[in-house]
Amino acid sequence: MMRSPSEPITYMEEDLIQRSRAGDSDAFAALVEEHRDAMYHLAWRMVGSPEDAADLVQEAFVRAYRSLDRFEGRSSFRTWVHRITVHCCLNHLRRRKRKGEVAYQEEWMDNPGYQERAGEARLHGRIDRPDQAADRSDLTAAIEGALGELSPDHRAAFLLREYNGLSYKEIAEATGVSMGTVMSRLHYARKALQEILMERIPGHTRGRERGVESQ
Amino acid sequence: MNADNEHLIDDINGWSDEWLIQAYVDGQLDASCVCRFEERLTADPGLAEEVGRQMALKSLIQRDKLAMPPMPRIPREVERWCALAEAVDVAESEGTQFDSSAGRGFGNRFHSFWNQPLVQAAALVVLVIGLVRLYPIQGVGDDPDAIASTAEILSLDLPQEGTGAYVYEQAESNLTVVWVTGLSDGGGVGEEPES
């Protein structure tokens, strides 16, 4: 079901968009189904909280549904929905900052909602042996913490590339900046993450051998 | 390496090594640029080492990505989203304010419900009534249990399982109270003046 990020709008997708515009919620549900998990992961890593991420995905899709008439198909539907989700996440982070709340939640690992869903993922075979799971949770916590130290703009560029697989051009469209800016943000984000993760996960990201072997 | 051909970069003139490495590990270069860059990689160990570091970071991120659970499914949620979107449209067209929190997820609805002062006050009253019913307020009097609860335990002697002698000192009466448990009659109390 998953398409290449930059695949042009298919006849089927165009049909679903047309039907959604006419108020067909089943057609819109089909569009949502294809992108919801990717948006959820993006939002989760953007704001650091699975609950807020679920709310933000809802907000993004509600906005998308309301704006379908304005979608002209110049970019793919996927890029367009990414753009809306990034916008919602950045707004959310700004609101939090204005309220004096923690801008990025790092306590998500203790969150019962996360543990529940991690258990669900384990059931589906997406999390493996307990020793590997423990290793992974350490890794995940380290990555989550490191991402929290990036600025929202750098984080967005990095996540869109690494987690959502958008091309540089699509990231530029989704974030409303030039490709040069995208590349600068990616470069900065990667350098910062490498430094942070080297401190937090000794042995990782240090050498070529280990990295290539683990591919 | 999943970029569509349409988006591959075919002109890298004037690019810094940092940008080249990044575009290479991201699979954003077209075939000819990849060939040119790989020739440089074989000749430049420093460059190759940096590529290795970037690949290692990508590998870590992939592991994290694969561990992320899918978004929880709620029955008929998209229908509700569509209804919400239409309600917002109607509210906007009528020039009225729409409460955006009304359609938000359970977490926020729960949060906003408990944030109301009246709800908090009512919950507090119910809690207090419940506690009073469970633990009726009574004076200490001569009730050994009550005395024990307000007194300092001086010693605890448990000669055998299920029996024991607790020695308390009650601050108010200056009495030492001995409360023996586990006796056949269900327990007994002995009081003696403080020596």
Tell me what the mean pLDDT of segment B97-111 comes to.
52
> What integer pLDDT is reported at residue B134 of this predicted model?
78
Domain boundaries, chain A: 11-106+128-208
Q: Which chain A residues are within 8 Å of B27, Cβ to Cβ?
A: none
Tell me what the mean pLDDT of segment A181-204 comes to.
87
Do residue B187 and residue B152 come from a single domain?
yes
Contact A168 B54 (CB under 8 A): no
Q: Is residue B171 part of a domain?
A: yes
Cα nearest neighbour of A39 on chain B? B71
Q: Is residue B98 part of a domain?
A: no
Token digits of residue B178: 């001995």
Do residue B117 and residue B161 come from a single domain?
no
Q: What is the pLDDT of residues A111-127, one digit of tens each?
A: 444 445 445 544 444 44
> What integer pLDDT is reported at residue A75 of this predicted model?
85
Do residue B15 and residue B36 come from a single domain?
yes
Confidence of residue A23 (pLDDT cuts 50, 70, 90): confident
Contact A57 B71 (CB under 8 A): yes
Burial of A160 (0-12, 13-18, 19+ CB in 10 A): buried
- Chains A and B: how many Cβ contacts under 8 Å? 164
Contacts 24+ apart (CB under 8 A), A200-207: A200/A142, A200/A145, A200/A146, A201/A138, A201/A139, A201/A142, A201/B60, A204/B56, A204/B60, A205/B53, A205/B56, A205/B57, A205/B60, A206/B53, A206/B56, A207/B49, A207/B52, A207/B53, A207/B56
Do residue B130 and residue B153 come from a single domain?
no
Q: Which domain holds residue B114?
A: 105-137
For B179, phi then psi, to 5°, come to -120, 115
Contact A121 B58 (CB under 8 A): no
> What integer pLDDT is reported at residue A88 of this predicted model?
95
Do residue B22 and residue B54 come from a single domain?
yes
Do residue B150 and residue B133 come from a single domain?
no
Contact A25 B78 (CB under 8 A): yes
Token digits of residue A29: 């549900």
Q: Which residues contact A181 (CB under 8 A, 6 or more apart)?
A: A172
Which of B17, B45, B67 finishes a domain?
A: B67
Contact A139 B63 (CB under 8 A): yes
SS (H, E, C) A112-153: HHHHHHHHHHHHCCCCCCHHHHHHHHHHHHHHHHHHHCCCHH
Q: Cβ(A201)–Cβ(A142) under 8 Å?
A: yes
Largest separation between any pair of C-alpha atoms in chain B: 101
> What integer pLDDT is reported at residue B141 of this predicted model?
47
Average pLDDT of chain A to the nearest whole number: 79
Judged against a pLDDT cut of 50, whether residue A21 lies above it is answered with yes
> What integer pLDDT is reported at residue B54 of this predicted model?
92
Q: What is the pLDDT of residues A147-159, one digit of tens each?
A: 999 999 999 999 9
The answer as to CATH 1.10.357.10 being correct for domain A11-106+128-208 is no
Closest CA to A53 of A41, A64, A36: A41
Which of B92, B118, B137 finishes a domain?
A: B137
Q: What is the pLDDT of residues B10-64, one digit of tens each?
A: 788 888 889 999 999 999 999 999 999 999 999 999 999 999 999 999 998 998 8
Do residue B132 and residue B156 come from a single domain?
no
Q: What is the pLDDT of residues B141-186, one digit of tens each?
A: 445 455 445 545 444 444 455 445 545 455 455 555 454 444 444 4
Q: Is residue B86 part of a domain?
A: no
Handedness of CA B36, B42, B46, B50 (dihedral sign): positive
Q: Which chain A residues are within 8 Å of B109, Cβ to Cβ?
A: none
What SS3 class is residue A101?
coil
Do residue B133 and residue B157 come from a single domain?
no
More confident residue, A8 or A38: A38
Do residue B126 and residue B148 come from a single domain?
no
Q: Is residue B109 part of a domain?
A: yes
> What integer pLDDT is reported at residue A141 of this predicted model?
85
In angstroms, rounded to a whole number, what is the distance separating the alpha carbons of residues A87 and A46? 11
Residue B135 per-residue DSSP state = S
Q: How far is B41 from chain A (nearest CA, A)?
A: 13
For A138, phi then psi, to 5°, come to -65, -45
> What integer pLDDT is reported at residue A135 of this predicted model?
62
Residue B188 per-residue DSSP state = E
> What integer pLDDT is reported at residue A128 of this predicted model?
44
Q: Which of B2, B4, B11, B49 is the best mutation test for A, with the most CBs of A within 10 A?
A: B4
> What integer pLDDT is reported at residue B151 of this predicted model?
47
> What integer pLDDT is reported at residue A25 of this predicted model?
87
- Number of Cβ within a 10 Å radius of residue B176: 17
Domain count, chain B: 3
Give the percent of chain A with pLDDT over 90.
51
Q: What is the pLDDT of residues A45-99, one digit of tens each?
A: 999 989 999 999 999 999 999 899 888 888 889 999 999 999 999 999 998 888 7
Do residue B130 and residue B154 come from a single domain?
no
Q: Cβ(A35)–Cβ(A78) under 8 Å?
A: yes
Q: Cβ(B176)–Cβ(B162) under 8 Å?
A: no
Contact A143 B64 (CB under 8 A): yes
> What integer pLDDT is reported at residue A134 of this predicted model?
54
Contact B9 A187 (CB under 8 A): no
> Which of A158-162, A206-210, B61-65 has the least mean pLDDT?
A206-210
